[in-house]
Structure 1
Amino acid sequence: MFVRIVKMGFQEDKIEEFLANFEENKEKIRNFEGCKFLELYRDKDNTTRFFTYSYWEDENSLENYRNSDLFKGVWAKTKVLFNEKPEAWSVDKLATLE
């Protein structure tokens, strides 16, 4: 399993539009084959910046999602709202403490 972290910055007047799109699609994304976990975070200091954390079975599962109609639709509505270039990282989870 690995983790995908995406940092996105939005135009202040477009945040509600982003949140509505995320709300509409979060269950579909989470239930996409291979997705094991999904969270959305908002930066405490820069409230126009958001992060998604998603856990995937393997890289192929993420690639299948990234090539899906679901992703293409979500991304098309999301990318026009940015105020900065998004960044993404794929990382291996090494430890979890609860």
Structure 2
Amino acid sequence: MAKQLYLTAQFELEDADAFASNFHDHAKASRAKPGCLFFYLIRDRHNPARFATMECWEDYSYFEQHVNDEEHNAFHAKISQVWKREPDVMEADLLCGME
């Protein structure tokens, strides 16, 4: 059985309020994609220009499909114009859940 992929990505954006709806639309579209077990979008309470995603994919192949489809490519083209620097991304394995 393939391993699930857990991923976090932190973004700091220029003009975050103007971009927030694009980010929300991407999170919603991502949740609807095959293999997506969850996709959360959170925003820092103290720095509203800072966002993070927390997501889980059934396995790496579903994540690869996600980052190579038209929706993700269009989103990436938009967000890369407004981020302050490359996002900090961590691919991870689950060690324990919410017991």
TM-score after normalising by structure 2: 0.87
Name the residue aligned to 2:41.
Answer: 40
Query: Alignment identity in percent?
Result: 26
Write out the 4+ residue segments of structure 1 that deviate beyond 6 Å after TM superposition: none
Count of aligned positions: 96
Q: Deviations over 1:53-81 (max 9, x none)?
A: 01100111101111111110111111101
Greater helix share, 1 or 2? 1
Name the residue aligned to 1:88.
Answer: 89
Q: Offset of 1:6 from its aligned partner?
A: 0.5
Q: Deviations over 1:11-51 (max 9, x none)?
A: 1xx21232110222322110111111011112233332111
TM-score after normalising by structure 1: 0.87
Please give the alpha-carbon distance, in whole angstroms, between the structure 2 residues aligned to 1:58 and 1:68: 16
Structure 1 counterpart SS, 2:40 = strand
Q: Which runs of 5+ in 1 are unaligned?
A: none
Please give the alpha-carbon distance, in whole angstroms, between the structure 1 residues aligned to 2:48 and 2:26: 21
Q: Which runs of 5+ in 2 are unaligned?
A: none
Name the residue aligned to 2:6.
Answer: 3
